[in-house]
């Protein structure tokens, strides 16, 4: 692919993104947002994070799928339990990463 084609795609995608965001601001900037839309939009960040993280946990790693050899899945379950019990983002990240590293070390999957 030529450099011109790559830069053309970058510019077109950038303009498309700008127009989509600008149109939303223009439509919603004129008045207030309906309550049903505001309630619905509160769940968008959690849905996006789940859509990114869950496939990486279930299908990633040296033993993908639902098995006890999938260290990412086990560490994700530990992190989910910590998140459920503590409601702390820092504790969830810290304990989740520590458990992943420990499980990877025990399984011999560390580089």
Residue 42 DSSP class = T
Q: How far apart are CA 56 and CA 51, in angstroms?
A: 9
For residues 62 and 18, the model is more confident at 18
- What was the pLDDT predicted at 84? 96
Stretch 22-51: mean pLDDT? 83
Tell me the percentage of the chain whose pLDDT exceeds 70.
87
- Among 9-13, 20-24, 57-61, top mean pLDDT goes to 9-13
Q: Tens of pLDDT along 67-82?
A: 777 888 899 999 999 9
Q: How far apart are CA 52 and CA 71, in angstroms?
A: 18
Q: Are 69 and 63 in contact (CB under 8 A)?
A: yes
- What was the pLDDT predicted at 63? 63
Which contacts (CB < 8 Å, 24+ apart) does range 64-72 have? 69/107, 71/100, 71/103, 71/104, 71/107, 71/109, 72/100
Q: How far is CA 42 from the centre of its chain?
A: 16
């Amino acid at each position: 692919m030529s450099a011109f084609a790559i830069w053309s795609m970058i510019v077109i995608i950038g303009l498309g993104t700008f127009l989509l965001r600008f149109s939303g601001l223009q439509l919603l900037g004129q008045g207030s947002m309906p309550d049903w839309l505001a309630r619905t939009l509160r769940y968008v960040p959690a849905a996006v994070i789940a859509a990114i993280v869950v496939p990486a946990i279930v299908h990633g790693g040296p033993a993908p799928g639902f098995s006890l050899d999938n260290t990412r899945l086990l560490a994700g379950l530990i992190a989910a339990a910590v998140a459920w019990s503590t409601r702390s983002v820092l504790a969830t990240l810290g304990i989740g990463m520590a458990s992943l590293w420990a499980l990877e070390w025990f399984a011999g999957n560390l580089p």
